[in-house]
Amino acid sequence: MLWVDKYRPKTLDQVIVHEDAAQNLKKLVSEQDCPHLLFYGPSGSGKKTLVMALLRQMFGSSSEKVKVENKTWKIDAGTRNIDIELTTLSSTHHVEMNPSDVGFQDRYVVQEIIKEMAKNRPIDTKGKKGFKVLVLNEVDKLSREAQHSLRRTMEKYSASCRLILCCNSSSKVTEAIRSRCLNIRINAPTEDQIVKVLEFIAKKEGLQLPAGFAARVAEKSNRSLRRAILSFETCRVQQYPFTINQVISPMDWEEYISEIVSDIMKEQSPKRLFQVRGKLYELLINCIPPEIILKRLLHELLRKLDAELKHEVCHWAAYYEHRMRLGQKAIFHLEAFIAKFMSIYKAFLIATFG
């Protein structure tokens, strides 16, 4: 089992990083009723861990007995019937899903599937909470129509269902939904907090840590606890005992993006753009989010550029990120950004060197 799962806190009392949030949630549960909740904060900050610990606090160990189902629902969309395939994770007390997985059909998921689940009150309460919990991930990626439908579901079925919503940015969640939830901000952990967790894992695993090694792993993690633990385990597999100057390898996908940037800087041509497209597809099919790809591309490009170009390249990165959020096919916008960069960089080279 990966350390990131092995040492995930099981209860709110075991949470090291977000102790204040954990204690507030504990008080909330002890009051016998729980409002709809919206957890928001950067990826890898610990939202999912808190949600799982909260479910265990509410329903006991039975919330951990989950089954994964890949179901197909037949939805009546007025003029036609459509099939929607969605993966859910469920226990007797909760169901977890990601409605944005189905893209522009997400409103049907909210209107039909979530409504159907929200209606069903759990049978075996045994004095426990008389409601079911629906955990919805990435609600900031839901379309406006889906979010409006979700608001109606929250109001109509609040007696038998509680929603726990998770997202990276609450600004993309409508005010109507935010106002109906208790909003809980989960900040990215500080490097000191990450070091504390890594030292805890090292102690449990019986590992000797050289001075400053955990701090270096924390620094490279970009304040993502998940990433720090994965990097730490990778270092353990690559070389142990640890050494003071041991190399902390970047993620494979980061190295791959560095290669793409090197290709772009060497040659700006339609042929090179076509080659880069293939590499972008490779990243997307390996589930690297397009926003992360664009952000990393920009980060790597800025490291290699003259100061006079940086402002313009940042402007176009922001422009294409906005377009990407509005559109459906991320590859078009990633490719358009690279084509724009090639055009800017080639014009700069011709103006500078003739």
Q: What is the pTM for the complete model shown?
A: 0.74
Please check whether residue 37 is in contact with residue 164, taking contact to mean a CB–CB distance below 8 angstroms.
Answer: yes
- For 175-187, how does the pLDDT look when each residue is reduced to its tens digit (9 = 90+)? 888 888 888 888 8
The count of structural domains within the chain is 3
From edge to edge, which strands make up the β-sheet containing 67-76? 67-76, 81-90, 94-97, 132-136, 161-167, 37-40, 182-185
Give a three-class secondary structure readout of the chain. CCHHHHCCCCCHHHCCCCHHHHHHHHHHHHCCCCCCEEEECCCCCCHHHHHHHHHHHHHHHHHHCCEEEEEEEEEECCCCEEEEEEEEEECCCEEEECHHHHHHHHHHHHHHHHHHHHHCCCCCCCCCCCCEEEEECCHHHCCHHHHHHHHHHHHHCCCCEEEEEEECCHHHCCHHHHCCCEEEECCCCCHHHHHHHHHHHHHHHCCCCCCCHHHHHHHHCCCCHHHHHHHHHHHHHHCCCCCCCCCCCCCHHHHHHHHHHHHHHHCCCHHHHHHHHHHHHHHHHCCCCHHHHHHHHHHHHHHHCCHHHHHHHHHHHHHHHHHHHHCCCHHHHHHHHHHHHHHHHHHHHHHHHC
Residue 246 in any domain: the answer is: no
Pair 79, 53 in one domain: yes
The pLDDT assigned to 242 comes to: 75
Instruction: Identify the domain containing residue 203 by its residue range.
Output: 191-238
Instruction: Give domain status of residue 89, yes or no.
Output: yes
Could you tell me if residue 244 is inside a domain?
A: no
Is there a single domain that holds both residue 263 and residue 285? yes
Would you state the pLDDT for residue 54? 85
Question: Looking at the structure, do residues 98 and 177 belong to the same domain, yes or no?
Answer: yes
Q: What is the pLDDT of residue 193?
A: 84
Do residues 228 and 270 share a domain?
no
Any domain includes 243? no
Same domain, 20 and 165: yes
Q: Do residues 260 and 324 both lie within one domain?
A: yes
Q: What is the CATH number of the domain that holds 123?
A: 3.40.50.300
Do 222 and 251 touch, CB atoms closer than 8 A? no
The pLDDT, as a whole number, for residue 354 is 63
The token pair at 264 is 């772009």
Same domain, 67 and 89: yes
Predicted pLDDT at 133: 83
Residue ranges of the chain with per-residue pLDDT less than 70: 31-33, 77-78, 117-130, 354
- pLDDT tens for 290-327 read 888 888 889 888 888 888 888 888 989 899 888 887 77
* 181 and 207 together in one domain: no
Is residue 215 domain-shared with residue 131, that is, in the same domain? no
Residue 106 lies in a domain: yes
End position of a domain, from candidates 238, 273, 299: 238
Same domain membership, residue 306 and residue 323 = yes
Closest Cα partner for 99 from 78, 81, 115?
115
Instruction: Report whether 183 contacts 170 (CB < 8 A).
Output: yes
d(CA 193, CA 188): 10
Structure tokens at 4: 């990131």
Pairing of strands 37-40, 67-76: unpaired
* Tokens 């042929």 belong to residue: 271
Residue that is last in its domain, among 170, 185, 200: 185
Give residue 119's pLDDT. Answer: 65
Query: Is residue 171 in a domain?
Result: yes
Find, among 206, 202, 238, the residue nearest to 218 by Cα: 202
Please indicate, yes or no, if residue 306 is contained in any of the structural domains. yes
Nearest to 278 by CA among 235, 224, 335, 318: 335
Q: Looking at the structure, do residues 24 and 145 belong to the same domain, yes or no?
A: yes
- 337 found inside a domain: yes
Cβ atoms of residues 59 and 19 within 8 Å: no
Please give the pLDDT value at position 121: 58
- 161 and 81 in a common domain: yes
Predicted local confidence at residue 127, as pLDDT: 47
